[in-house]
């Protein structure tokens, strides 16, 4: 049962344009979401997060939007740069008991930004 | 600077061998995780530990075991390596203490090939 889903395996964008990466979740108990970025042969690094008490969180060129009723979140990168080319994962932590902090990840979306 | 260090970047092992993957973190984190990353499947949780000597199975524990004798060290053991365990293995750690402290820090990954 895939509780966090990224249905687009890849996305190709021109430099300077907006990149929009999408993520859907099925577990209504999730109330905090994170985006990670991963380059080949490196571990994922944290990018941005959002709590369910908000519907938007911005950090420089990166903005995450949360639509709780649709169980959907998206990551916007504006403007996109070639260095943003990487795999992007959305993730949500389990809540309760000893499972605090256990992250469930989506399948990832490969973003390619062309110069 | 926070650090999660995995003992090997690349490993090649033979089918049937017992394989040890080691991970050390210097952030005094309670939680430690082992994930594997495969194309199209994202990061899947193998095992999780929230304290010394404590462990929980993740989504795909079959064929693996773990050991956490010290807070900073979390080992993943492949009891009898098989070719379907060829993958990128990622160790991570995070604070225990609630949803807002669930950012996980990852090691650089170990690319394991079983031949």
- Three-state secondary-structure class, residue A98: helix
**pLDDT on residue B114:** 98
> What is the token pair recorded at B38?
């495969």
**pLDDT on residue B90:** 97
What value does the mean pLDDT take over residues A33-58? 93
Residues in chain B: 115
**pLDDT on residue A99:** 58
Instruction: Give the CA radius of gyration of chain B.
Output: 13
**pLDDT on residue B74:** 97
Question: Inter-chain contact A89–B33, Cβ cutoff 8 Å?
Answer: no
CB B19 within 8 A of CB B81: yes
Question: Inter-chain contact A98–B54, Cβ cutoff 8 Å?
Answer: yes
* Burial label, A27 (beta-carbon count in 10 A; 0-12, 13-18, 19+): middle
CB A3 within 8 A of CB A95: no
Largest interatomic CA distance in chain B: 42
Check whether A74 has a pLDDT greater than 70.
Answer: yes
Q: What is the pLDDT of residues A8-18, one digit of tens each?
A: 999 999 999 99
Does domain A4-114 match CATH 1.10.150.170? no
Measure CA B91 to chain center: 4
Interface test with B, best of A23, A46, A95, A101 (most B CBs within 10 A): A101
State the average pLDDT for chain A: 92
> What is the spatial distance between Cα B62 and Cα A88, in angstroms, rounded to a whole number?
27
**pLDDT on residue A96:** 58
CB B7 within 8 A of CB B107: no
Contacts of A103 in chain B (CB under 8 A): 33, 43, 45, 92, 94, 102, 104
| Residue A26: pLDDT band with limits 50, 70, 90 | very high
Contacts of B48 in chain A (CB under 8 A): 99, 102
Residues in CB range of B66: below 8 A, 6 or more apart? B34, B46, B47, B49, B55, B74, B75, B76, B77
Check whether A91 has a pLDDT greater than 70.
Answer: yes
Contacts of A45 in chain B (CB under 8 A): 106
Check whether A111 has a pLDDT greater than 90.
Answer: yes
> What is the spatial distance between Cα A112 and Cα B80, in angstroms, rounded to a whole number?
38
* Burial label, B16 (beta-carbon count in 10 A; 0-12, 13-18, 19+): exposed
Interface of A with B (CB under 8 A): 6, 9, 31-32, 34, 36, 41-46, 49, 51, 89, 91, 93, 95, 98-108
Q: What architecture does CATH give domain B4-114?
A: Sandwich (2.60)
Check whether A98 has a pLDDT greater than 80.
Answer: no
Instruction: Give the residue on B whose Cα is nearest the Cα of A32.
Output: B99
Low-confidence ranges of chain B (pLDDT < 70): 1-2, 97-102
Place of tokens 């993730």: A91
């Amino acid at each position: 049962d895939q509780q966090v889903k990224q249905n687009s395996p890849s996305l190709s964008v021109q430099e300077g344009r907006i990149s929009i990466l999408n993520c859907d979740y099925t577990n209504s108990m999730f109330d905090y979401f994170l985006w990670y970025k991963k380059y080949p042969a490196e571990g994922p690094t944290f990018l941005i997060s959002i709590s369910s008490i908000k519907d938007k969180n911005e950090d420089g060129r990166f903005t995450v939007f949360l639509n709780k009723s649709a169980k959907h979140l998206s990551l916007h990168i504006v403007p996109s740069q070639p260095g943003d080319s990487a795999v992007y994962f959305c993730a949500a932590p389990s809540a309760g008991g000893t499972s605090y902090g256990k992250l469930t990840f989506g399948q990832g979306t490969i973003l390619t930004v062309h110069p | 600077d926070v650090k999660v260090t995995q003992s090997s970047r690349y490993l090649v092992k033979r089918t049937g061998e017992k394989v040890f993957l080691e991970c050390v973190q210097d952030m005094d984190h309670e939680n430690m995780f082992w994930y594997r990353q495969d194309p199209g499947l994202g990061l899947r949780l193998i095992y999780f530990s929230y304290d010394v000597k404590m462990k929980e199975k993740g989504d795909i524990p079959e064929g693996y075991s773990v050991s956490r004798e010290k807070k900073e060290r979390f080992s993943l053991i492949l009891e009898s390596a098989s070719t379907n365990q060829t993958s990128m293995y990622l160790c991570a750690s995070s604070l225990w203490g609630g949803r807002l402290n669930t950012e996980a820090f990852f090691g650089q990954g170990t690319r394991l090939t079983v031949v």
